[in-house]
Amino acid sequence: MDFKRLKIPLFILATFLFGIKTYIIYRFMFNMELENKMQEFILIINPFVSAFLIFALSVWFRKQSRQMKFLRYTALIGTLVLYFNLVFYRSFNDFITVPQLFQASNMGDLGSSILTLIEIYDVLLFLDVVIIWYLSKKKPELMTVSYQKSGKVFALAMSFLLLAGNFFLAEMERPQLFTRAFDREYLVKNIGLFNYHVYDAAVHSRATTQRVFADGNELPEITEYVEEEVKRDEKSPLYGIAEDKNVIFITLESIQSFVINNDVNGEEITPFLNSLVGDESTYYFENFYHQTLQGKTSDSEFLVENSLYPLSRGAVFFTHGGNEYNGLSEILGEEGYHSAVFHANNKSFWNRDQMYDSLGVDHFYGEEAYEVNQENSVGWGLKDKPFFEQSIKYLQSMEEPFHSKFITLTNHFPFELSEEDSSIDKYDSSSSTLNNFFPTVRYMDEAVEQFFDQLKEAGLYEDSIIVMMGDHYGISENHDRAMSEYLGKDEVTPYDHVQLQRVPMFIHIPGHEDGKVMSEVTGQIDVKPTLLNMLGVSAENDIQFGNDMFIDDRKGYIGLRNGDFISDDYISTSGVCYDRETGEPVEAEENEDPSAADQSEAENRTGNQPDSPCSPIQQKVEKEMELSDNLIYGDLFRFIESAETEDEQNNE
């Protein structure tokens, strides 16, 4: 056979190589669960469909050099997009969104965190790029094609036909995938990473224009829903208990509730926090869930300040830092509280300098307020013990009553800590991340205990309430195998994964004698109304999607930003409705009317079965998130501010 006469168009070879590589990444590097053979089939074909769609464009270049250049750089850029998503996924178990591209300023602060996510074998992911580069340079005469216009049109038509077929199968497998897309994993699994990015860009463009066309007419629907479905008339038994007291809020970085009253290698992980569980001055919420997504710590701040949901794409702190809000700090400021945030990081990280102004925070003590050196810092910056030590002088200088927030750093991925600072040994498992997690959690626990003592010495303890809350998970799904070892389970199921989203929540009231363990389902969205009531501050006209955690007549569920929820009786995740107590799937009731079942299925975004007991709550969760998103995207609080100003002028 004369191989010189055998012409294999490079765009066909590039499609084949790139498609295989993409499928390998999808199937073996992304932790995507495949529920049936159809999902497996779609996952196999969509990498090749996307690759053919892009590489086939090369046939429209007449010149050989331009055709080869297009293929070279397309393969390189496509591989970089894949690889950046892979590195991001290893940390966050999620895919990059357009808003996060505007958070690039954060990347410079990640340092060693990124390096821990890079593997030596990753270089193999660029092998096809090397092959394409070599062939386009050394064998262009064998790789170039020259089609007539009809051939070019046929290649383009074939591209769109394959794409339409992919989308048709995806819609069959996941009805209303595009109109009700809560889960990025479903999008990537069904239409591919590159089509997902196109879709995400379109969604971002639409969201960006939403503020421009907002006029405040959206507010009545939101306020009506909040009045009917969220607000409660019941008076909290702790209303006003902390009136005129200082508020000291401590964000416990990356801690999860599974470490509380638990041990590793026979050693207590959090002895001090354990001592507060059941303490008569402390309320501990054992079923308290974080509700963050891509914004992580900044999302938790947003939830606490506003009792609104964070966005499903990017971080509100970045994408809408200039909005009008009615934040907790601003409300307390109107009641005479001075507010400050303490965090030994730079002010631009998560765009805090702008966002804190929007929230009404009076002062931010960032890294410039601290003495940071090689001895007292690790990982992301100043270690927690010197952080609290150096913060006391600022806290003592603040006018009382004050509302202060401390954001810790040491227990942050990749959980680095020297042996001299480690009080307990690392865990021994297949995950270095989980192994390193326990010593840094213990260090944070010791730092908090030390801070309590410092508050007493400074004379601030008795006149304050101390709130401690985990901001988000520390151990992602990527470490499920090691987590199952630690928890003594065969595997971490979707139900278990939701339960692992519980984070510690403590409200410590010095001198109080009725503290107890609270078992109600609560979340970060409930913190704002709870604190306002404890401080005796009324915010009747505020828009909040949470309830006071101490009242009995609560709405009875917590929505997670990915569309899952936890209620008093059920947990909904991965399209399955579970009994919250037993963890067993709850069967849907039979419906004799097929049309009603079809409608119920079409209306259900997460795939719960028709007539599932989870469906009514699911619809409420979706509605709340939609209305919360509308408030943020439309910057609707500016119209409330304008209306209030106009009313004041009319009254004058």
Q: How many helices (H) and strands (E) does the chain have?
A: 24, 18
Backbone angles phi, psi at 210, to 5 degrees: -65, -40
User: What would the 3-class secondary structure string for 74-94 be?
Assistant: HHHHHHHHHHHHHHHHHHHCC
Closest CA to 145 of 74, 48, 70, 75: 70
Query: Contacts from 638-647 at CB under 8 Å and sequence distance 24+?
Result: 638/323, 638/324, 639/214, 639/215, 639/216, 639/219, 640/219, 640/324, 640/326, 641/324, 642/216, 643/216
Rounded to the nearest angstrom, the gap between the alpha carbon of residue 99 and the centroid of all alpha carbons in its chain is 13
* Structure tokens given for 603: 């209306």
Q: Are 25 and 84 in contact (CB under 8 A)?
A: no
Q: Which residues pair with 58 in a beta bridge?
A: none
User: How far is 26 from 3, CA to CA, in rounded Å?
Assistant: 34
What letter does residue 253 receive in the DSSP assignment?
T
User: What residues contact 148, with CB distance under 8 A and at least 6 apart?
Assistant: none
User: How far is 151 from 560, CA to CA, in rounded Å?
Assistant: 50
* Structure tokens given for 257: 């509730």
* Structure tokens given for 491: 């595997």
Q: Are 21 and 86 in contact (CB under 8 A)?
A: no
Show which residues are catalytic.
297
Other Cβ atoms less than 10 A from the Cβ of 274: the count is 18
Closest CA to 429 of 500, 475, 379, 484: 484
Closest CA to 637 of 216, 24, 307: 216
Rounded to the nearest angstrom, the gap between the alpha carbon of residue 523 and the centroid of all alpha carbons in its chain is 14
End-to-end CA distance of the chain: 95
Rounded to the nearest angstrom, the gap between the alpha carbon of residue 551 and the centroid of all alpha carbons in its chain is 28
Q: Are 289 and 524 in contact (CB under 8 A)?
A: yes
| 3-class state of residue 144 by DSSP | coil
User: How far is 129 from 133, CA to CA, in rounded Å?
Assistant: 6
Closest CA to 305 of 471, 626, 524: 524
Backbone angles phi, psi at 461, to 5 degrees: -65, -50
Whole-angstrom CA distances from 117 to 29, 92, 219 are 12, 11, 44
The per-residue DSSP string of 184-250 comes to: HHHHHHHH-HHHHHHHHHHHHHHHHHHHHH--STTHHHHHHHIIIII---PPPTTTTTTTT-EEEEE
